[in-house]
């Protein structure tokens, strides 16, 4: 088994991504751009109601419309219950998108409208209609350790507070969907915007009963998933059905409103927390009642988080609402758990009269509950020290001492951790052709993380070539099994088999060449595009490969222990100003100190961290799904009233790679998720520090800030 090279030429340097120019020049073809010959346009008809029974569907008016080639009912009259606005009713394929939309609109659907509950408040009100068979909410059993009640009584200082985070949606810029093309009656190709070509392929196999060997799912590039794009989904299957009926390829991508309503979301979180400590700042007890909604999907989140509370009890209640189901979203559960825990920590530190940084250091858990049991205590100490320096924590002042207004300033911090780690059953093929071209193949995909590029970096490093000489061929379900892009597992799953495949291929090449060169295999090395014998240049890479005759080298690499590891964390700091007259929060600066593992490409690594921070910044400052209790509809299913940061909202962001020799020894780790976890928490703490009172509800919108200020003045 191969090991990561001790000294590296490419690994860890800043290498522009392989597909960057194609993307930046508009030439890259995304799944939603691909237009096979004869392609039709598909449209999904969505339910306008949040809760209803479908009584009848008349597809005929749609069928009769000009340009319509296939129509499909997705709901069954008399059977289908509508659980959320946007739920699929029917699908149409037509010659143009305009005509398909008209046709979908022409479908006659009779609904029996039922009462709905679309907010947690509405769902759990005492007189709420029971709209779900198993009730609107389910209280879990208390998870208890130690003696929380007793310990709480003995605690010197106790805070009691309620914190809330809203449902947010993924807002992938490329909508969910695929283009389906049948080749004959039992062979299908799908161009899918997905985080898992293999899962989409499997969905097609399962649904249509076609041989797995006849299904190809292609994702050359794709426009964002963030955890919401693993399956073919009802609309992808509908596209394939319509394509079959019409005998022509069908492109089916959701519209923006459907994206918000049915393509996934991050569950809300509400936590009523009692947290107690001894006078010298040791956590003594936590009693938490939490709840959340993911539509009808789970909403749980880790709590306590990062810190050790010996005596604790926690009960989580799942609340169902008539809204689209939650899906994994960038570090599922962690941003919520982090915000709740870190808010409580800050509030308690304030009551204790302690610097919240010191208070945190005193209470770190020695076993990392999610990161493979790593003791992160020391790591956190060092990372916090670095972060504190970068943000200027020495300027920190207690709440209420940050200016008389109207503009006040505040600092906040938060810690995060994540598991990640690599799957051990993935493969990469490495092909060295006699013409010197090198190709890597695997059924993984690049969702914007740089996966394609890092595989090529590894190959180029081992073969002494330039990154551009490697064809990194991924995003094809028919290639050797690759990892789904989720859970920050792609790099730790794929880098080891890639290193092994390329190392084996190189060794095979050496074995073939050595006899002809009258040298031992061990005498051969590759560097700067040349083959070296005992350190002396013998021939070019191309000349060496030509000696293969007509037979390429083709190896399959598998996972190897020690090349990647599990467990990743970091800390973040935020500096804000708040106008206490308008409630407007401005971000001044964010510092993110992040575990690195062995960095493969510094440029794409940094982009991951910036991207995570900006995702967290959106969660902290802007994002919120707003449901209308009266009508049951989403009020902001767009990109105007569903707020996301634009260029002028971006503060100075400092990314600090915690890149130590020990870190590198761990091998590669994934960092897609960790850096997005603690940003919203740090921002919330900075706002509290600035205005002297906790804003208990995210996002830190003017309304939530003003409400908190009013509550402080007793005017709530």
- Taking CB within 5 to 8 Å according to partner kind, which of other proteins, ligand FES, none is near residue 620? none
Pairwise CA distance, residues 578 & 575, whole Å: 10
- Taking CB within 5 to 8 Å according to partner kind, which of ligand FES, other proteins, none is near residue 24? other proteins
Phi, psi of 153 (to 5 degrees): -60, -35
Residue 703 lies near ligand FES (rule: CB under 6 A) = no
Q: Is 1 helix (H, G, I), strand (E, B) or coil?
A: coil
Residue 16 lies near ligand FES (rule: CB under 6 A) = no
Nearest one of 440, 452, 449, 552 to 497, comparing CA atoms: 440
Residue 24 lies near ligand FES (rule: CB under 6 A) = no
Restricting to residues 290-319, name those near other proteins by CB under 8 A: none
Pairwise CA distance, residues 423 & 558, whole Å: 10
Restricting to residues 249-278, name those near ligand FES by CB under 6 A: none
Q: Which is nearer to other proteins, 96 or 153 (CB)?
A: 96
- Taking CB within 5 to 8 Å according to partner kind, which of ligand FES, other proteins, none is near residue 550? none
CB of 407 to other proteins, least distance (A): 19
CB of 671 to other proteins, least distance (A): 13
CB of 311 to ligand FES, least distance (A): 45
Sole residue written with tokens 């979180």: 269
Pairwise CA distance, residues 263 & 325, whole Å: 8
List for the chain the helix, strand, coil content (%; round to 5): 30, 25, 40
Residue 395 lies near other proteins (rule: CB under 8 A) = no
Per-residue binding letters, 253-282, with other proteins (x by CB under 8 A): --xx--------------------------
Pairwise CA distance, residues 196 & 384, whole Å: 36
Q: In the chain, count of helices (H) and strands (E)? A: 19, 29
Give Rg (Cα) of the chain: 28
Q: Which residue is nearest to ligand FES (CB)?
A: 173
**Residue 174 contacts residue 223 (beta carbons within 8 Å):** yes
Show the CA angle centred on residue 136, arms to residues 132 and 139, nearest 5°. 135
Using CB under 8 A, pick the residue from 285, 349, 576, 613 that binds other proteins.
Answer: 613
Restricting to residues 12-31, name those near other proteins by CB under 8 A: 16-17, 19-21, 23-30
Pairwise CA distance, residues 145 & 140, whole Å: 16
- CA 119 to each of CA 9, 393, 619, 629: distance values in angstroms, whole numbers, following the listed order: 55, 39, 19, 7
Restricting to residues 206-245, name those near other proteins by CB under 8 A: 221-224, 226
DSSP 649-692: G--EEEEEEE--HHHHHT-B---SSHHHHSHHHHHHHHHHHHHS
Q: Which is nearer to ligand FES, 295 or 448 (CB)?
A: 448
Using CB under 8 A, pick the residue from 142, 533, 650, 711 that binds other proteins.
Answer: 650
- Taking CB within 5 to 8 Å according to partner kind, which of other proteins, ligand FES, none is near residue 154? none
**Residue 428 contacts residue 555 (beta carbons within 8 Å):** no
Using CB under 8 A, pick the residue from 33, 156, 439, 507 that binds other proteins.
Answer: 33
Pairwise CA distance, residues 86 & 45, whole Å: 8
| Number of residues near other proteins (by CB under 8 A) | 58
Residue 603 lies near other proteins (rule: CB under 8 A) = yes
Candidates 113-121, 159-167, 442-450, 543-551; binding stretch for other proteins (CB under 8 A): 442-450
Restricting to residues 131-190, name those near other proteins by CB under 8 A: 171-175
Residue 448 lies near ligand FES (rule: CB under 6 A) = yes
Residue 77 lies near ligand FES (rule: CB under 6 A) = no
Candidates 76-84, 95-103, 375-383, 387-395; binding stretch for other proteins (CB under 8 A): 95-103
Nearest one of 12, 2, 19, 9 to 466, comparing CA atoms: 9
CB of 182 to other proteins, least distance (A): 21
**Residue 472 contacts residue 456 (beta carbons within 8 Å):** yes
Pairwise CA distance, residues 425 & 195, whole Å: 18
Q: Which is nearer to other proteins, 35 or 55 (CB)?
A: 35
Residue 20 lies near ligand FES (rule: CB under 6 A) = no
Tokens of 515: 């006899």
Restricting to residues 622-641, name those near other proteins by CB under 8 A: 638-640
Q: Which is nearer to ligand FES, 5 or 224 (CB)?
A: 224
Tokens of 551: 């037979």
Largest CA distance in the chain: 90
Restricting to residues 210-229, name those near ligand FES by CB under 6 A: 224
Nearest one of 528, 529, 511 to 519, comparing CA atoms: 511
In the chain the first and final C-alpha atoms are separated, in Å, by 65
Using CB under 8 A, pick the residue from 202, 437, 607, 707 that binds other proteins.
Answer: 607
For β-strands 40-46 and 88-94, DSSP reports them as: antiparallel
Q: Which is nearer to other proteins, 173 or 279 (CB)?
A: 173
Residue 653 lies near other proteins (rule: CB under 8 A) = yes
- Taking CB within 5 to 8 Å according to partner kind, which of ligand FES, other proteins, none is near residue 121? none
Restricting to residues 157-176, name those near ligand FES by CB under 6 A: 173
- 340: which residues sit within 8 A by CB, 6+ positions away? 163, 165, 269, 271, 273, 288, 290, 301, 303, 305
SS (H, E, C) 273-309: EEEEECCCCCEEEEEEEEEECECCECCCCCCCCCECC
CB of 224 to ligand FES, least distance (A): 5
CB of 37 to other proteins, least distance (A): 11
- Taking CB within 5 to 8 Å according to partner kind, which of ligand FES, other proteins, none is near residue 622? none
Restricting to residues 459-478, name those near ligand FES by CB under 6 A: none
Nearest one of 496, 510, 508, 509 to 442, comparing CA atoms: 496
Candidates 121-129, 400-408, 579-587, 613-621; binding stretch for other proteins (CB under 8 A): 613-621
How long a stretch of residues is the chain? Answer: 716
Nearest one of 581, 612, 632 to 674, comparing CA atoms: 612
Does residue 242 have a cis peptide bond before it, meaning omega lies within 30 degrees of 0? no
CB of 173 to ligand FES, least distance (A): 4
Instruction: List residues near ligand FES by CB under 6 A.
Output: 173, 224, 448
Instruction: List residues near other proteins by CB under 8 A.
Output: 16-17, 19-21, 23-30, 32-33, 35, 41, 96-98, 171-175, 221-224, 226, 255-256, 447-450, 603-604, 606-608, 610-615, 617, 638-640, 644-648, 650, 653
């Amino acid at each position: 088994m191969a090991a990561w090279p001790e000294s590296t030429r490419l690994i860890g340097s800043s290498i522009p991504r392989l597909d960057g120019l194609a993307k930046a020049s508009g030439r890259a073809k995304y799944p939603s751009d691909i237009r096979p010959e004869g392609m039709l346009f598909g449209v999904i008809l969505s339910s306008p109601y949040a809760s209803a029974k479908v009584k009848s569907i008349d597809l005929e008016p749609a069928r009769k419309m000009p340009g319509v080639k296939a129509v499909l009912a997705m709901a069954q009259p008399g059977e289908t219950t509508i659980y959320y606005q946007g739920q699929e009713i029917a699908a149409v394929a037509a010659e143009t998108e305009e005509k398909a939309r008209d046709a979908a609109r022409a479908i006659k659907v009779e609904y029996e409208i039922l009462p709905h509950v679309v907010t947690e408040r509405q769902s759990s009100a005492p007189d709420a209609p029971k709209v779900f068979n198993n009730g609107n909410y389910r209280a879990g059993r208390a998870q208890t350790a130690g003696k929380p009640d007793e310990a709480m009584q003995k605690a010197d200082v106790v805070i009691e507070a309620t914190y809330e985070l809203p449902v947010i949606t993924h807002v992938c810029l490329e909508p969910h969907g695929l283009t389906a093309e049948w080749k004959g009656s039992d062979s299908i190709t799908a161009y899918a915007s997905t985080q898992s070509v293999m899962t989409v392929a499997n969905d097609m196999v399962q649904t249509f009963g076609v041989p797995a060997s006849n299904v190809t799912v292609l994702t050359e590039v794709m426009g964002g998933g963030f955890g919401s794009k693993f399956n073919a989904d009802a609309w992808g299957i509908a596209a394939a059905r319509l394509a079959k009926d019409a005998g022509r390829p069908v492109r089916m991508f959701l519209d923006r409103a459907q994206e918000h309503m049915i393509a996934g979301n991050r569950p809300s979180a509400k936590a009523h927390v009692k947290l107690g400590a001894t006078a010298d700042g040791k956590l003594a007890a936590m009693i938490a009642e939490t709840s959340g909604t993911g539509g009808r999907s789970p909403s749980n989140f880790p709590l306590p988080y990062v810190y050790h509370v010996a005596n604790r009890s926690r009960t989580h209640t799942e609340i169902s609402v008539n809204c689209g189901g939650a899906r994994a979203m960038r570090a599922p559960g962690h941003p919520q758990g982090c915000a709740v825990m870190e808010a409580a920590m800050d509030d308690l530190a304030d009551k204790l009269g302690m610097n919240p940084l010191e208070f945190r250091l005193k209470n770190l858990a020695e076993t990392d509950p999610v990161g493979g049991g790593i003791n992160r205590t020391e790591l956190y100490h060092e990372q916090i020290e670095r972060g504190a320096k970068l943000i200027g924590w020495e300027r920190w002042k207690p709440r209420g001492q940050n200016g008389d207004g109207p503009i006040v300033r505040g600092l906040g911090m938060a810690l995060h951790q994540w598991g990640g780690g690599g799957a051990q059953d993935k493969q990469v093929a490495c092909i060295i052709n006699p013409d010197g071209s090198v190709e890597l193949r695997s059924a993984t995909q690049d969702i914007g993380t740089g996966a394609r590029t890092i595989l090529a970096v590894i190959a180029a490093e081992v073969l002494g070539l330039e990154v551009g000489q490697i064809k990194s061929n991924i995003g094809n379900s028919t290639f050797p099994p690759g990892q789904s892009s989720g859970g920050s597992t792609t790099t730790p799953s794929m880098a080891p088999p890639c290193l092994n495949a390329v190392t084996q291929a190189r060794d095979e090449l050496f074995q073939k060449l050595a006899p002809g060169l009258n040298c031992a295999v061990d005498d051969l090395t590759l560097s700067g595009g040349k083959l070296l014998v005992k350190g002396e240049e013998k021939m070019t890479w191309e000349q060496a490969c030509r000696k293969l005759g007509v037979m390429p080298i083709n190896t399959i690499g598998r996972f190897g222990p020690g090349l990647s590891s599990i467990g990743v964390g970091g800390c973040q700091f935020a500096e804000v100003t708040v106008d206490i007259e308008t409630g407007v929060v401005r971000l001044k600066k964010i510092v993110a100190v992040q575990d690195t593992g062995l960095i493969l490409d510094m440029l794409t690594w940094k982009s991951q961290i910036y991207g995570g921070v900006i995702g967290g910044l959106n969660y902290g400052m802007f994002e919120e799904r707003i449901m209308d209790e009266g009508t049951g509809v989403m009020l902001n299913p767009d990109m105007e009233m569903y707020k996301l940061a634009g260029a002028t909202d971006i503060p100075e962001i400092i990314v600090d790679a915690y890149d130590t020799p020990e870190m590198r020894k761990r091998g590669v780790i994934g960092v897609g998720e960790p850096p997005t976890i603690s940003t919203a928490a740090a921002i919330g703490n900075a706002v509290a520090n600035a205005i002297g009172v906790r804003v208990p509800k995210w996002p830190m919108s003017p309304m939530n800030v003003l409400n908190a200020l009013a509550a402080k003045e007793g005017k709530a």
